[in-house]
Amino acid sequence: MADTAVATVEAPPLDEVMLAMDVVDTLRHQDLVVERELSGEARRVRMIERLREIYRGQGITVPDRILAEGVAALEQERFVYKPRTGGFAFTLARLYVRRGAIGRRVGIIAAVVLVLILGWYFLIERPGNQRAEAERIELSETIPADLATLSAAIADEANDPAVAASAAQTARDGTAAAAAGNAAEAREAVADLRELLGELRLTFDVRIVSRPGVLSGIDRYPDGSDTPNYYLIVEAIGPDGEAIPRAITSEEDQRTRTVTMWGVRVPEAVYAAVEDDYFDDGIVNDTLVGEKERGDLAIEWAKPVLGGMITEW
C-alpha cells in the first residue's frame, strides 16, 4: 500500500516533460496565444485543437493530456526563463561578469586622476612652494646681506658724511621691510643703494659739445618773456672718452629724460665768452664746464651756471 502511494507522486517521465516543452515552444512559434478574444476555457480548447492538427500533420500523435499540460505550462510561464534581479548576491554576480569592462573604466579613471594630481603638484603646488621658499630666503638672508654690504660700500666711497648716513637709513628701512615680508619695498631699497653706489663711483667731465653739425649753445625765450635764457650744450665724458647717459630734468616741461647731450643754463657773459671762443677759430677750445669726482654726487662747476637744464631744442 505504501508503495502505491509513493508511485502516485513520482515525477513524470522525461520524454513527457520534453514533449510538453515542445508543445509550449510550438504554441509560441505558431502565434496561437494571440487569440485573446476567446474566453479562457474556450481559448484553451481552441489551442488544443490547433495543436492536435499541427502534430497530426507532422505524423506525431500527442495525447490530449500532454497538450493540456503544455497549454497550462504556457499560461503559467513554467518553461520561461526569468533572469534573477535584485539582491546583494545578484549585484556581486553582475559585477563579476562585467569585471573586465569595469576594470578598464576604473583604470582609465585612476589614470586621469593620477595625471591631474601629478599635474597639480608639478605645475602648481611644487612651483608655488619653490617660489615661497626662494622669497623666504631672499627676505631673511639675501636682502639683509645685500643692504649691509651696499651700506658699508657707500660709507667707504662717499665724501659727504650725510650721504653715508642717508644710505645707512635706507638700509635699515629695507631690512625692516624684509623682516615684515614687504618684498617690494625691500627690493626697492636694494636697488636705490646700488644706484647710489654706482653714482658715487662714477667720474666724468661735463664738456661743451664742439663738433661739426652740432650746436654748442642756444638761446631760448621762455613763454611770455622778452629776455632770453642762454644754454651751453654739454655732455658727460667718461675716462674712456665716451659720453655717459644722464637722467636730466628739463626746466621747460619738468620731464626727466635719459640723454647723452643736454643744455645747461649759464649767465649771458659765460655764453658770450664761449661764443667768442668759437668765432675765433671755428671751434670751442675751452670746453670744460664742470667735473664729477669719485665719491661725490654733485658736479663741481668750472664755469658759472644758473642751474636750469633743457633736454630738447
pLDDT higher than threshold 50 for residue 37: no
> Could you tell me the pTM of the whole model?
0.60
pLDDT tens-digit series, residues 246-279: 999 999 999 999 999 999 999 999 999 999 999 9
Phi, psi of 243 (to 5 degrees): -75, 135
Bridge partners of 300, per DSSP, are 291
Domain ranges of the chain: 10-76, 101-201, 204-310
pLDDT tens-digit series, residues 123-168: 888 888 888 899 999 999 999 999 999 999 999 999 999 999 999 9
Q: What is the pLDDT of residue 303?
A: 97
pLDDT tens-digit series, residues 59-84: 777 787 887 777 777 666 555 556 66
Nearest CA to 234 among 196, 291, 297, 296?
A: 291
% of the chain residues with pLDDT over 90: 55
Nearest CA to 261 among 283, 276, 242?
A: 242
Q: What is the pLDDT of residue 46?
A: 77
